[in-house]
Structure 1
Amino acid sequence: MTALPLRARRPASLTEVVRSGLCSGCGLCASLAGPGKITMGLNMKGNSRPLVVGELDERTHRTILDVCPGATLTGPGRPAGAKTHPVWGPIREIHRVWSAESEVRHHAAAGGTLSGLGRYLIDSGEVDAILHVRASAKTPWLTEATVSRNADDVYGGAQSRYGPSAPLVHVKQLLDGGERFAVVAKPCDISAVRALARVDPRVDRQVRFLLTNFCGGVFNAQVARAMIRFHGVEESEVDTFRFRGDGWPGPHRVQAKDGRTFDLSYESAYKDRPWGYDMQFRCKICPDGVGESADISVPDAWILKDGRPVYDEAPGVNVAVVRTERGRDLLARAVEAGYLELSSISMTELEQMHGNHPARKVGAPATFTALRVLGQPAPRVTGYRPLASVLRAGWRVSWGQFAGTVRRVLKRDNREPVI
């Protein structure tokens, strides 16, 4: 009888990361490879993916696999000085928080906290730049990485971008230029930067802060196209495409160049989802949608009614989940300087606001076990406390995650074209 392959088989190449559905589309590989070696673009499924177009030397390829969140994923474990929760990870402080600038608070997708932190860091001179994403100027329904060097540019990148993006394509350029910068990106992107710090000492010196949100998964560009078609607008006619913002949660908006404007509420756009919701496979097996590796994680502080979130329009509010001492000091300075305001929140409220995260988070060990049993490549995962997760999950959640992963692999949901 053949033994089950229970040991993890890390992808042997960047191409295998992509073909196996493990790529998150962060763009760090393209940044490290340099011009003419790897390009980022949308593949046939509408996901942000790398394409190797030049020859990679063995050392660069090995480094890429050591930092790629589709091949290597290292969590924070149980850092000293923080209370570590099996779902929410290390927590030093937790607050309700919002931008003290009313215009920023309204324009952002929630309370404008990430924008407020970015604006404070630039204005105070603590960093030279903020690496983040914004709506593409050329194709508004797509998202592009950007480097902001003043507070107004940070403001221009506010609002949620739920579609594919490659926020880390400029990391090496900023490091090579000796610049001090902060990164605002998805949790998996943040873990990639933490991994890069283990092989490049410049990261700890120059990347001053890592800031993130809570992530429920990245859907592909076909969903944005379907949103546009839903309103009877042609892609070439789109002038503005907003997932959320200008209010909290703010309307999803498609505005045509001739002035026609179509809005949908948050619930209509993201709960009812008349166009479906095609999330990339890597998100379905993610062990960290809550940004454990960041200095501060900043989700929405949804309004609660009878213990459940409601999505009525209101002045925007975030939660600040402070992970590190560096994050705690940053938040205190931003509040003292008048960029942010705080109020109290309980762990129970956080759990009620974001009840979609626990099952996938604590079920992650079962998910990766399923990949191993099926002989599929899987990221080498450490630092996410699997025993605590299994005990928290229980057998029903674990079995559900295991069986769900098996079904997806058998249906080839994880298989992706390289281009």
Structure 2
Amino acid sequence: MTARAPETIAQVVEHGLCIGCGLCQAMAPDRWQMRYTPQGRLRPAPISQGDDTDILAACPGAVAMANPDKTPETDSVWGNFHTVTRAWAGDPDVRFRGATGGVLTALGMYLLTSGQAKFVLHCTADPDHPMQSPWTISTTPDQVFKASGSRYGPSNTLAGLEIALARNEPFAVIAKPCDAGAIRALAQSDPRIDTLIVAVLVMVCGGASDLGKSRAVLNEFDIDEQDLTLFRYRGFGNPGPTRIETRDGRAVEKTYLDMWADETGWRIQSRCKICPDAIGEAADLAAADIWPGGSPTGEDAGFNGVITRTDQGQRLLDAALADGALKQDQTLTPRDMDDFQPHQVRKKHQVAARLRGLTAAGHPVFRHVGLRIDDLDTGNIAEEHGARERAAQGRFSEPFDFDSD
């Protein structure tokens, strides 16, 4: 059976292909606005009718693509790269507060202090709804620093992309790998992307949960979401605890392993389960957790695996190391990354089968370019049948419904 791509934004959402990146709102704010569903997912709510062909040409639910630049190194799993190194933020405070080694925070701050970028488009904790992670623009290193730490729920960073481009100033983006893929796809029709964006930086991603995961934690401690003043998912150590604070002075924490050890409770969104590029092949630079075996055994000082994907990314890494914004101590290999991120290796080999299963169930799927998904296909019949069965049960389907707020 031949795979077919979604033909409308509605099909992207209804067939579980939406990740809530916000690109449709950026490109057509008169037609789409990002809102939360009752399940705690960010999804585009229709405002008016119109032709969304231009959006679908870049939407991560309709297309996924690697950066097309040639590189000196390549690997069947980890793709094209210049170097892989173990690094961390040169500033101890940034290293402590940022997730893992604070590399992405340090680079965002460095791009501003060095004058290479006028601002950074990224996400931050919503001061009024601390579990949520809306897009923001930071124009100072301190703003980037205060937004440090991983956000494990939905984020709509690309909803701010058009506003960022309209400023007509050089800027950087810190986002998810799927967001980077959307940016690369959009660059094929919007020349402002390559002219104005000086760096696209991403984390190697284990998947984006919906807010149901966070709400379950609140229920565990009998805390009302409206009482929150802080919901910090990561940071203040590596891996750092999840910390919750309330208006009446309560404070509770969960260790990383207590928070994430039970994978059945992660509430990972459907698009993440078939993600063809969680390792940042569309970015200039990707930063990863690097725990041997794929899971932490305790707290440490914080180290990132840093993968440079483009000339631009390698130049940024070299400059940041030379100026002390980052530090490094050893070169890594793709086989090291296999050990640190075994779930990424499994997913790369399983995606083709899952997509076949969805296609057999009559679902549209995204097209993929330059990500070696077919080359890595192991013909896993169990994965194919599992995806087909889940689709038949409606587990890849979503309705259009939204919270009133």
Same fold at TM > 0.5:
yes
* Separation of aligned partners in 1, 2:114 and 2:294: 39
- 1:245-285 per-position Cα deviation (integer Å, ceiling 9, x unaligned): 11111111111222211111111111146x82211111111
Q: The residue matched to 1:363 in structure 2 has which SS? A: helix
Partner of 1:240: 230
Partner of 2:289: 300
* Separation of aligned partners in 2, 1:253 and 1:39: 30
Cα contact 2:67–2:184 (8 A) shared by 1: no
Give yes or no for the alignment of 1:260 onto 2:246.
Answer: no
Partner of 2:274: 285
* Separation of aligned partners in 2, 1:75 and 1:401: 24
Partner of 1:38: 32
Q: The residue matched to 2:265 in structure 1 has which SS? A: coil
Q: The residue matched to 1:209 in structure 2 has which SS? A: strand
Q: The residue matched to 1:246 in structure 2 has which SS? A: coil
The one of 366, 380, 383 aligned to 1:379: 366
Q: Kindly state the Cα deviation for residue 310 of structure 1 after the two structures are TM-superposed.
A: 2.9
Give yes or no for the alignment of 1:73 onto 2:60.
Answer: no
The one of 194, 197, 211 aligned to 2:201: 211
Partner of 1:358: 345
Give yes or no for the alignment of 1:190 onto 2:180.
Answer: yes
Q: Specify whether residues 405 and 119 from structure 1 end up closer, same or farther in structure 2 by C-alpha distance, changes over 3 A only.
A: same
Q: Kindly state the Cα deviation for residue 227 of structure 1 after the two structures are TM-superposed.
A: 0.9
Identity %: 34
* Separation of aligned partners in 2, 1:75 and 1:7: 22
Partner of 2:5: 10
Q: Kindly state the Cα deviation for residue 400 of structure 1 after the two structures are TM-superposed.
A: 3.2
Q: Kindly state the Cα deviation for residue 387 of structure 1 after the two structures are TM-superposed.
A: 4.0
Cα contact 2:360–2:388 (8 A) shared by 1: no
- 1:160-205 per-position Cα deviation (integer Å, ceiling 9, x unaligned): 1010110111111121221211111111011000011001011100
Matched AA of 2:130: P
Partner of 1:270: 260
The one of 74, 90, 109 aligned to 2:80: 90
Q: Kindly state the Cα deviation for residue 234 of structure 1 after the two structures are TM-superposed.
A: 1.5
Give yes or no for the alignment of 1:53 onto 2:47.
Answer: yes
Alignment of 1:379-398 (within 5 A): 379-390=366-377, 394-395=378-379, 398=380
* Separation of aligned partners in 2, 1:361 and 1:118: 29
Q: Kindly state the Cα deviation for residue 308 of structure 1 after the two structures are TM-superposed.
A: 6.1
* Separation of aligned partners in 2, 1:259 and 1:272: 29
- 1:232-253 per-position Cα deviation (integer Å, ceiling 9, x unaligned): 2121221111111111111111
* Moved beyond 4 Å, runs of 4+: none
Q: The residue matched to 2:2 in structure 1 has which SS? A: coil
- 1:356-390 per-position Cα deviation (integer Å, ceiling 9, x unaligned): 11111122122222222222111122211234312
Q: Kindly state the Cα deviation for residue 76 of structure 1 after the two structures are TM-superposed.
A: 3.7
Gapped runs of 5+ residues in structure 2?
none
Partner of 2:18: 23
Cα contact 2:239–2:296 (8 A) shared by 1: no
Q: Specify whether residues 363 and 82 from structure 1 end up closer, same or farther in structure 2 by C-alpha distance, changes over 3 A only.
A: farther
* Greater CA drift, 308-317 or 66-75: 308-317
Q: Kindly state the Cα deviation for residue 351 of structure 1 after the two structures are TM-superposed.
A: 1.4
Matched AA of 1:121: L
* Separation of aligned partners in 2, 1:389 and 1:355: 15
Q: The residue matched to 1:299 in structure 2 has which SS? A: strand
Q: Kindly state the Cα deviation for residue 118 of structure 1 after the two structures are TM-superposed.
A: 0.3
Measured on the aligned residues, the alpha-carbon RMSD in Å equals 1.5
Q: Kindly state the Cα deviation for residue 309 of structure 1 after the two structures are TM-superposed.
A: 4.0
* Greater CA drift, 355-364 or 141-150: 355-364
Matched AA of 2:280: G
The one of 107, 117, 124 aligned to 1:117: 107
* Separation of aligned partners in 2, 1:133 and 1:386: 29
Partner of 1:412: 394
Q: Specify whether residues 207 and 136 from structure 1 end up closer, same or farther in structure 2 by C-alpha distance, changes over 3 A only.
A: same
Alignment of 1:123-138 (within 5 A): 123-138=113-128
Partner of 1:3: none
Q: Kindly state the Cα deviation for residue 223 of structure 1 after the two structures are TM-superposed.
A: 1.1
Partner of 1:322: 308
* Greater CA drift, 119-128 or 171-180: 171-180
User: How many residues end up aligned between the 2 structures?
Assistant: 400
- 1:14-35 per-position Cα deviation (integer Å, ceiling 9, x unaligned): 111111111111001100003x
Matched AA of 2:43: R
* Separation of aligned partners in 2, 1:345 and 1:256: 43
TM-score, scaled relative to structure 1: 0.92
